């Protein structure tokens, strides 16, 4: 079991913090029962019937409705799903995904690679590959569609939902891409030119180098940063909006507002400039490692932290407000999801140092340690985070403290502003809504892949022996 990373005092400011809990222990469910204002229900999704030994991890669909398990008998492998067994192969390659209700993967049969898409076997021109080199399907974020790639040693072909496309590439490029929800972007070389594929307007540009791409969820706005002819260029939907050496970039959720920090530093003189929608609005005598830009989700509010040379304190610049000091400099600084509230996580200068949580400048909690990147601030001032306590951890929120557990999962922000999560105490497993924990009796709960708010319930996929269950914690009628 790997616990969440703990935010502990350091002599210098850390660049990032881990915030993922991995609960590998058994889990459980209870038949419908009241839990204060919530009721826990379970829905049977089906049963697994295996003949051999398990081989490899489960493959779960993000909607929690589908699961596959790989089994081995002798020298052969196959997937078994809730609707039955799939064909036997000599070997199944890593990287299987669910696309809707179809299991997609590659396998080896008689020395040849087979491409399986649900009940179909699709032709493959060469050997499977991908932008990450290893051959595997490349899904959209919502797993409603996917891309596949193959190489004949000379050219790379690509396929959209199993259909081969006319374009060919010399090779693929691994580029940092924040993908849209329902489509897939990738980068490929044609000769010496690099092209972003999957967004028509952006695909018209040619690049010598691509650093990153950022897309809104609906793909209406795509920002691409790279180089052409030795010039650093930022494009928005295929059109140049800035030519500056960028150190950081942020955009609003809808992509209508954007900000960037350009680094003009030399060995002897640090210098950065701040840009908003293509216009320079500020500058500072600091290099890229001594600044941090924070833009609210709606793009209307921003804060630019200029960190002191000793990394102990910082100056914050904001639109329409005077400069102010942050002493000590916070390890985390963020806006609420509606952009109306400011939050900080910082270390005190006590001995030993402790961790403070501040909302709009007010201290709401002080702890020995806080789990990294668990602090969330929601509309209306609701907030929650995970704190280390004697004997375990607990979730604290604007409504109070939750129970102490050995471990907790990632936290879902529920519609009523309360935190929702899965927790473990000893051999007991719970589904938690706010401060109320409901004991479950399943063998396993797959929270990392499937914990979500859907259909009016805090939902997660679980197992009890060979049965697969959908657990739903709902408001009582």
Can you spell out the DSSP letters for 322-386?
A: EEEEESSPPSEEEE-TTSS-EEEEEE-SSSS--EEEEETTEEEEEES-EETT--EE-GGG-EEEE
Q: Is residue 275 part of a domain?
A: yes
Q: Are residues 319 and 292 in the same domain?
A: yes
Whether 154 shows a pLDDT value over 90: the answer reads: yes
Cα 107 to the chain's mean position, in Å? 28
What is the rounded CA–CA span in Å between residue 350 and residue 152? Answer: 63
pLDDT in tens, 385-421: 999 988 999 999 999 999 999 999 999 999 999 999 9
Where a domain ends, among 286, 309, 331?
A: 331
Q: Are residues 436 and 311 in the same domain?
A: no
Q: Is residue 377 part of a domain?
A: yes
What is the rounded CA–CA span in Å between residue 396 and residue 385? Answer: 6
Q: Is 240 left (phi over 0), alpha (psi -120 to 50) or beta?
A: beta
What is the rounded CA–CA span in Å between residue 375 and residue 331? Answer: 12
Please tell me the total count of domains within the chain.
Answer: 2
pLDDT in tens, 215-270: 999 999 999 999 999 999 999 999 999 999 999 999 999 999 999 999 999 999 99
Q: Is residue 271 part of a domain?
A: yes
What is the rounded CA–CA span in Å between residue 212 and residue 278? Answer: 18
Q: What is the DSSP letter of 207?
A: B
Where a domain ends, among 331, 351, 381?
A: 331
Q: Are residues 471 and 439 in the same domain?
A: yes
Share of the chain above pLDDT 70, in %: 92
Q: Are residues 317 and 352 in the same domain?
A: no
What is the rounded CA–CA span in Å between residue 348 and residue 224? Answer: 40
Whether 437 shows a pLDDT value over 50: the answer reads: yes
Q: Is residue 385 part of a domain?
A: yes
Lowest mean pLDDT among 56-60, 273-277, 356-360, 407-411: 56-60
Q: Which residues pair with 193 in a beta bridge?
A: 190
Predicted confidence at residue 443, as pLDDT, reads: 85
Q: Are residues 358 and 412 in the same domain?
A: yes
Which secondary structure element, helix H or strand E, spans residue 398, and what is its range?
Answer: none
Q: Is residue 171 part of a domain?
A: no
Q: Is residue 204 part of a domain?
A: no
Q: Are residues 348 and 466 in the same domain?
A: yes
Segment 153-179 shows an average pLDDT of: 97
Neighbours of 32 (CB within 10 A): 10
Helix or strand or coil: residue 202? helix
Q: What is the DSSP letter of 318?
A: E
Mean pLDDT score of the chain, rounded to an integer? Answer: 91
What is the rounded CA–CA span in Å between residue 337 and residue 330? Answer: 19
Widest Cα–Cα separation across the chain: 72
Segment 70-79 shows an average pLDDT of: 96
Helix or strand or coil: residue 447? helix
Predicted confidence at residue 21, as pLDDT, reads: 35
Q: Are residues 344 and 287 in the same domain?
A: no
State the first-to-last Cα distance of the chain, in angstroms, to the nearest integer: 37
Whether 17 shows a pLDDT value over 90: the answer reads: no
* 78 confidence band (pLDDT: 50, 70, 90): very high
Predicted confidence at residue 26, as pLDDT, reads: 31
Asked if the bond preceding 143 is cis, omega within 30° of 0, the reply is no
Instruction: Please answer whether residues 227 and 237 qualify as being in contact, where contact means their C-beta atoms are separated by less than 8 angstroms.
Output: no
Instruction: Please answer whether residues 428 and 443 qualify as being in contact, where contact means their C-beta atoms are separated by less than 8 angstroms.
Output: no
Segment 413-435 shows an average pLDDT of: 94
* 36 confidence band (pLDDT: 50, 70, 90): low
Q: Are residues 393 and 289 in the same domain?
A: no
Domain span holding position 36? 1-47+339-477
What is the rounded CA–CA span in Å between residue 328 and residue 351? Answer: 14
pLDDT in tens, 276-325: 999 999 999 999 999 999 999 999 999 999 999 999 999 999 988 899 99
Q: Are residues 359 and 321 in the same domain?
A: no
User: Rounded to 5 degrees, what are φ and ψ at 447?
Assistant: -75, -35
Q: Which pairing describes strands 176-178 and 209-215: parallel, antiparallel, or unpaired?
A: parallel
Q: Which pairing describes strands 97-99 and 102-109: parallel, antiparallel, or unpaired?
A: antiparallel
Q: Are residues 383 and 289 in the same domain?
A: no
Q: Is residue 100 part of a domain?
A: no
């Amino acid at each position: 079991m790997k616990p969440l990373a703990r935010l502990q005092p350091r002599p210098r400011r850390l660049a990032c913090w881990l915030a993922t809990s991995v609960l590998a222990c058994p889990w459980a469910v209870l038949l419908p029962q009241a839990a204060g204002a919530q009721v826990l229900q379970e829905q049977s999704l089906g049963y697994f019937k295996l003949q051999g030994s398990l081989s490899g991890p489960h493959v779960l669909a993000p909607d929690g409705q589908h699961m596959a398990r790989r089994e081995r008998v002798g020298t052969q492998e196959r997937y078994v799903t809730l609707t039955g067994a799939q064909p036997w192969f000599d070997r199944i390659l890593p990287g299987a995904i669910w696309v809707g209700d179809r299991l997609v993967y590659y396998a080896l049969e008689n020395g040849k690679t087979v491409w399986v898409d649900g009940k179909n076997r699709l032709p493959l021109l060469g050997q499977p590959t991908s932008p990450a080199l290893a051959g595997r399907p490349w899904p959209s974020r919502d797993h409603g569609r996917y891309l596949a790639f193959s190489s004949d040693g000379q050219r790379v072909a690509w396929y959209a939902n199993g259909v081969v496309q006319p374009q060919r590439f010399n090779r693929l490029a691994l580029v940092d891409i924040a993908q849209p929800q329902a489509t897939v972007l990738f980068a490929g070389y044609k000769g010496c030119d690099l092209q972003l594929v999957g967004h028509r307007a952006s695909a018209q540009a040619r690049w010598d180098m691509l650093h990153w791409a950022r897309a809104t969820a609906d793909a209406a706005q795509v920002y691409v940063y790279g180089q052409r002819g030795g010039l650093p260029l930022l494009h928005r939907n295929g059109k140049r909006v800035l030519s500056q050496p960028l150190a950081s970039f942020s955009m609003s959720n809808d992509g209508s507002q954007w900000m960037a920090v350009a680094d003009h530093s030399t060995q002897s003189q640090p210098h950065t400039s701040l840009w908003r929608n293509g216009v320079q609005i500020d500058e500072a005598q600091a290099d890229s490692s001594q600044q941090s830009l924070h833009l609210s989700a709606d793009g209307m509010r921003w804060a630019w932290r200029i960190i002191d040379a000793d990394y102990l304190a910082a100056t914050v610049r904001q639109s329409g407000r005077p400069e102010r000091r942050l002493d000590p400099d916070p390890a985390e600084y963020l806006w609420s999801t509606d952009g109306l509230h400011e939050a900080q996580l910082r270390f005190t200068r006590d001995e030993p140092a402790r961790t403070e949580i501040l909302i709009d400048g007010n201290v709401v909690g002080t702890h020995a340690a806080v789990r990294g990147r668990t602090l969330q601030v929601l509309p209306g001032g609701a907030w929650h985070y995970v704190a280390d306590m004697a004997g375990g951890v607990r979730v604290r929120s604007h409504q109070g403290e939750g129970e102490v557990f050995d471990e907790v999962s990632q936290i879902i922000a529920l519609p009523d502003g309360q935190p929702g999560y899965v927790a473990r105490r000893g051999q007991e497993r719970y589904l938690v809504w706010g401060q109320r924990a409901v004991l479950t009796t399943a063998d396993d709960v797959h929270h990392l892949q499937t914990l979500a708010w859907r259909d009016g319930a805090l939902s997660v996929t679980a197992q009890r022996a060979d049965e697969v269950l959908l657990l739903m914690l709902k408001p009582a009628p």
